[in-house]
Structure 1
Amino acid sequence: MGIARRIARLLTAMVLLPLLLADCSHAQPALDRVAARGELRVITLQNAPVAFQTGDDGPSGMDLDLVRGFAEALGVEVRFITPASYEEILPLLRRGEADLVAGLIETPNRKEQLRFGPVYQELSSQVVYRNGATEPTPKLEGLRDGARIGVLSGSSHEELLESLRLVNPQISWVAYPGTDHLALLDQVGNGNLDYAVIDSRLLAQALRFYPELRAGPVLDQPRNKAWAFAPGEEDSLLEAAEAYFGGVRDNGRLAQLEDRYYGHLEQLDPFETQVFVSRLEERLDAYRGLFEQAAEETGIDWRLLAAMGYQESHWDPDAVSPTGVRGIMMLTRGTAKQLGIDDRTDPESSIRGGALYIRMVREKIPERIPEPDRTWMALAAYNIGYGHLEDARRLTQKRGGDPDRWMDVKSNLPLLSKESWYKQTRYGFARGQEPVRYVENIRGYYDLLVWREQRPATEETGRDSWLVALLGS
């Protein structure tokens, strides 16, 4: 049964529910209340290391996209509420100012106070420390006297530290107000803290942006991440959420979001990130205006074009490959001729040519394929050729996958290098793993460029604060 039909049946039942409850309660059922209001009010936490801009929709992430999908299934708008601290969550729910909390970790204390919905991720508490510092043990034993540990006040990590202190009374920490884990990472990065404890999945995301930091030990077994609802209320909204999650699991949407936001995290190591950061000041500033001009002409985000340029040549206009491709965007002679470009090493011509070519390739990708999958497939075709991409999509369909989903296609692209498979294709052999790495690298570089745009400049130097942390003032 589809998501809309499951929830529609719940909404129909809600028409009768007030009559059934009339003798025992005057409270309006939660799902009825949301429908009448025309708005779903959701508490979200400041725990995403990068906000992916999606046009007029603003920032997005796995939790936000799931909430938007739920609101759409309910036929209402969504309003996100960001509390100033974890301690504000329960009062907001009890006062009826919010309908649910998205992306909360289940803990023994929280399960006594809240009702949790379907689990969609598992996370652990993990230590992060600065490169060169002493790595702590899994139980935080043997830390030097005065070691400064930071944690967010009221978080699941503070609850864990309290339990660890029962067996290791010497453990102490500083509890910071708020819900922004990135503030803790900044404190570790600039030396104000020796260690911090944050979500393992968040740390995996954030290490791309903090190459001076290192992942320490995991302190506990994986714990459930789910939506949480107010205590003492009837279950109509919770049941609608369960129906929604059942639908997104069945149709593959949940797995697709997992791949979109986490599928490329391990592609860039700290060294590659530091090289990228050093090239930002050395080279990108000289060409940013050209990327922005090409973006204005083609409608493609300049940061995506810049990420492509870095992957192709490290922004070196004189780059030449063994196969003869040249310039910042590494255009072939044939592509340059097709685009009317005479000098492939001219930065303006190369960047404009690469932008026009990726737009041409993207226009070949079926419009029914939603973003960002359509762009990822266009990048793969830019790298390996449109014909080979179509071969991989056909193999994906033949093997029971969805040829319109990047997560399925990328798992089948490497088959193009295996004789038993490429003999079944129209265009034959190709190094299919290369476009997978190509796309995932570009996704990583793009995230870094988006992150750079969002970080404030320091008052002292005017330079991006994250660059100061990495390169020194």
Structure 2
Amino acid sequence: MKKAIILFSSILILLLFGVQCTFIEKNFGSIAKEDTYLLDLQGIQNRGFIRAAVDNNSTGYYIYRGRRMGYEYELLRDLAKRLNVQLHLVMVSEIDVAFDYLHEGKVDVIAMNLEKNLERSEKASFSLPLGKMSTVLVGNESSGKITSWDQLKTDTIYVREGAVYKTQLCALKDSLQLNYTVITSPDHEETLIDKVIEGKIKWTIADQNIARVNATYYEGLDISWKVQQENDVSWVVRQNSPKLLASLDTWLSDKQKRFIPDVYAKYFLNSKNSYFRTNSPFSSLAGNQISVYDDIIKDGAEQLGWDWRLLASLVYKESRFDTVATSYAGARGLLQLMPVTLERFGVQNPDDPSESLMGGVRYLRYLDKFWMERVPDTSERLKFVLASYNIGHGHVEDAWRLTLKFGENTQTWADVSKFLELKSDPDYYQDPIVKSGFAKGHLAVNYVKDVMSVFESYKALVHP
């Protein structure tokens, strides 16, 4: 009987605590807090690239005439150069999602204009300020210029979710006893500005910089009424990345006097240039063209079985879409073929964009066929083809032989590229199995990284 009572009591306690824990987790979240992703500066440098979250707007990151541009992009590119790593950009439209990505290790830095507050400080570490930001009310001039908050009466103001705008407006509403309504929206500031222009909503709030850029190509946009005066804005990193934060702050200190103000002026103070960049059909902001040669690039890519944006990335890397570009070594045309290669692949007029491009396509098909049996995987073989296009397939084949000799995987670019980089070391380029001798293989490895980096940008910003 005693054993039965003990058993019954144990089961009852287990059930009660089990139900209690389930209830708590269901209503208040998991008791155990998930660990934040761990990776500081050294780990990022060992990995070889830094991931940055950037805002999806008309000034942060976009493509213009094949070239990657944007205020945050140019700053991050310089930071990555300082840290001696590649730059990988992650476009994020929601601020809360950006903080989630930071916590999970999907990004290492959030490169957005963020004001410091208690809630955000609990989630991340703020850098030194990049500058100051003020917020403005955005409306149509047809609604009349606002000179007093009382004029809004019972109007509704739509604001971006996760931004500081709602807090600012609610504080004003309470202190001045106003009657307007604030509604949060998942839409970006620029999308909300579009809705103001279209008459779908009457008011929104935006960073003054974004509002100014939009005012350059939207007539009748009123951005004159400030919601709040200038406050410091910063980037953020994980709280467990103190060395990355220290390097970021050092870089900011070094760049505050000249570089950052110059980039700021380029994107925010030159309204004419902003207008052309944001309205050009060759801008990812307004059109979907990379260059005037997109049609022939698409034809060539179809023959290769490539995404046309990949071939466009190679053309950009080689010639910047300049049909008469000539290198110091005599390479010519959109794909910068050497005279002997031009002749071999039937190009008589390298200045003719269609003829020179198709000559390059035939050469790329030859390289793809050369590597097909040794590297069956298409995505891996692509990198062998690009490296061969840059340095010659003989040097890449040497690296392939060295990879085989030292027992590593000859079908992965990660392994073969290590030996290609070693072709400047006499211990390797003097090996009897090496047929093409010395090479600055690291340049070809970086070339592949550069082309693929441009391709990733084109994929993110230009429709297929």
Query: Given the two structures, how large is their TM-score scaled by the length of structure 1?
Result: 0.48
Larger radius of gyration: 2
Query: Given the two structures, how large is their TM-score scaled by the length of structure 2?
Result: 0.49
